[in-house]
Amino acid sequence: DKTHFHQLLEKCPLQRMWHELYASSDFERRAKEIQEFNRSNRWRKRGIAQLPTKFGISFTAKFFNQAGALVNVYTDGTVLITHGGTEMGQGLHTKILQIAAKALNVPMSAVTFRETGTDTVPNSSPTAASASSDIYGMAILNACEQIMGRLKPYLEKAKGDFKSAVNTAYFDRCDLSAHGFYATPGIGYDWSLPDDQRGKPFNYFTYGAACSEVEIDVLTGDMRILRADLHMDVGNSLNPAIDIGQVEGAFTQGFGWATLEETVWGCSEFPWLKPGVCMTRGPGTYKIPSFNDTPVDMRVTLVKDSANPNAIHSSRAVGEPPFFLGSSAFFAAREAIAAARKDAGAGDDYFTVDLPLTPERIRMACGDPIASKFSEKSSRPRPSLFV
């Protein structure tokens, strides 16, 4: 299989993931139960939806796909590492620390960080595109392998004792520091060439699938996610705890984007909004997900037996790829709205709902006599009414 830009999909487990999710989420049984629930409840409706995602990993600007790192080994056997990535709570430092400890065959307690700085690792690429663990992990590995290559004869004499080998190497005037570098190979895209010769913009893809079940209040437009089943292919996970947290966080951001977060600008069409002024300038009006918005039941599965040869230790990136899975809540809510409209006499007529699917939009889309007095036939995007 190929993408629309002619990149070959290598080692794509998406079809397997789709069927595994359909079975593990018990989609068929739950869909029947939802139909029965909707028949029995006029003012509360439920919906369920399942969707896949595919996310390309690499900076599309080729020159960003490079990384540097610095590893210093001290005579007491401790290690100080620095790389060009920025830790912002995503667990990057933890993964890099694990990679260094494994490469040097030392306990993680022996490895410490010096915070990112251009005085130690210059010309760093942005910590973005979900590629930081990939490129900085490989740069750290490159530096560690240089040091281990120098230490090999000393480790053999010391029977693998790292501290003893390092101490001996120091007195033998062996360099115990190394600068690591990595440039993602085989990527680049040239629009001037024929379609099948343009190259590959992404190093690989990360895949996922989600199934969400939601319940809406027809009278208020309130929505809650009852259950979310998330399957993510992260290859051989560097740290499952971090990766599961990233999946949960990205899903939460995704359904916030799809159902809550709306930027509203005033215009002359709406006299209660001052023209040209952004009305959603803070958390009071720009709604982001809160504890009450997270799924009542969230189940994350990291796909097994899906090693990725194109990244550090056969892993896959996980930061942004799960984001789109949050839109499964949008499509589930649309199913719930369709059930409400059917009860209101709208039948199976096609209807349009806009992103984000806010409570106002849910309420106005339900098609009952009260909402119909104020709703418009136009399908073009409109701001929510009650900002």
Contact 348, 342 (CB under 8 A): yes
ω before 356 within 30° of 0 (cis)?
Answer: yes
Do 47 and 73 share a structural domain?
no
Q: What domain range is 307 assigned to?
A: 14-58+202-372
259 domain-assigned? yes
The pTM assigned to this predicted structure is 0.91
Which of 183, 211, 232 delimits the end of a domain? Answer: 183
DSSP state letter for 7: -
- Cα–Cα distance for residue pair 277/264, rounded to 1 Å: 8
215 domain-assigned? yes
Do 255 and 120 share a structural domain?
no
Do 302 and 268 share a structural domain?
yes
Which of 125, 153, 183 delimits the end of a domain? Answer: 183
Do 128 and 51 share a structural domain?
no
Do 69 and 30 share a structural domain?
no
β-strand partners of 271: none
Do 286 and 237 share a structural domain?
yes
Note the helical H segments in 105-238: 132-157, 162-171
The residue type at 58? S
- Cα–Cα distance for residue pair 230/21, rounded to 1 Å: 8
Do 266 and 299 share a structural domain?
yes
Q: Catalytic residue positions?
A: 320
6 domain-assigned? no
| Sequence-ordered list of residues with C-beta below 8 angstroms from that of 348, at least 6 positions apart, any chain | 338, 342
377 domain-assigned? no
Do 328 and 229 share a structural domain?
yes
Note the helical H segments in the chain: 14-24, 27-40, 92-104, 132-157, 162-171, 240-259, 327-343, 359-365, 369-372
CATH number at residue 142: 3.30.365.10
Kindly give the confidence (pLDDT) of every residue in the chain, 387 residues in length, as a single tens digit, with 9 standing for 90 and above: 889 998 999 889 999 999 999 999 999 999 999 999 999 999 999 999 999 999 999 999 999 999 999 999 999 999 999 999 999 999 999 999 999 999 999 999 999 999 999 999 999 999 999 999 999 999 999 999 999 999 999 999 999 999 999 999 999 999 999 999 999 999 999 989 988 889 999 999 999 999 999 999 999 999 999 999 999 999 999 999 999 999 999 999 999 999 999 988 888 777 777 888 898 889 888 999 998 899 999 999 999 999 999 999 999 999 999 999 999 999 999 999 999 999 998 878 888 899 999 999 999 999 888 887 777 655 454 555 544
47 domain-assigned? yes
Do 78 and 100 share a structural domain?
yes
Which of 120, 155, 183 delimits the end of a domain? Answer: 183
Identify the pLDDT of residue 337. 97
- Cα–Cα distance for residue pair 7/201, rounded to 1 Å: 8
Identify the pLDDT of residue 379. 45
51 domain-assigned? yes
| Sequence-ordered list of residues with C-beta below 8 angstroms from that of 138, at least 6 positions apart, any chain | 67, 180, 182, 312
- Cα–Cα distance for residue pair 170/172, rounded to 1 Å: 5
3 domain-assigned? no
Identify the pLDDT of residue 105. 97
Do 177 and 165 share a structural domain?
yes
- Cα–Cα distance for residue pair 261/286, rounded to 1 Å: 6
Do 346 and 208 share a structural domain?
yes
- Cα–Cα distance for residue pair 83/140, rounded to 1 Å: 7
The per-residue pLDDT for range 113-172, each reduced to its tens digit, is: 999 999 999 999 999 999 999 999 999 999 999 999 999 999 999 999 999 999 999 999
Question: Closest Cα partner for 299 from 26, 14, 31, 19?
Answer: 26
The total number of structural domains that make up the chain: 2
Contact 67, 143 (CB under 8 A): no
193 domain-assigned? no
Do 158 and 140 share a structural domain?
yes
The per-residue pLDDT for range 320-340, each reduced to its tens digit, is: 999 999 999 999 999 999 999
Dihedral over Cα of 316, 140, 65, 242: its sign: positive
Contact 70, 177 (CB under 8 A): yes
Question: Closest Cα partner for 246 from 206, 213, 195?
Answer: 206
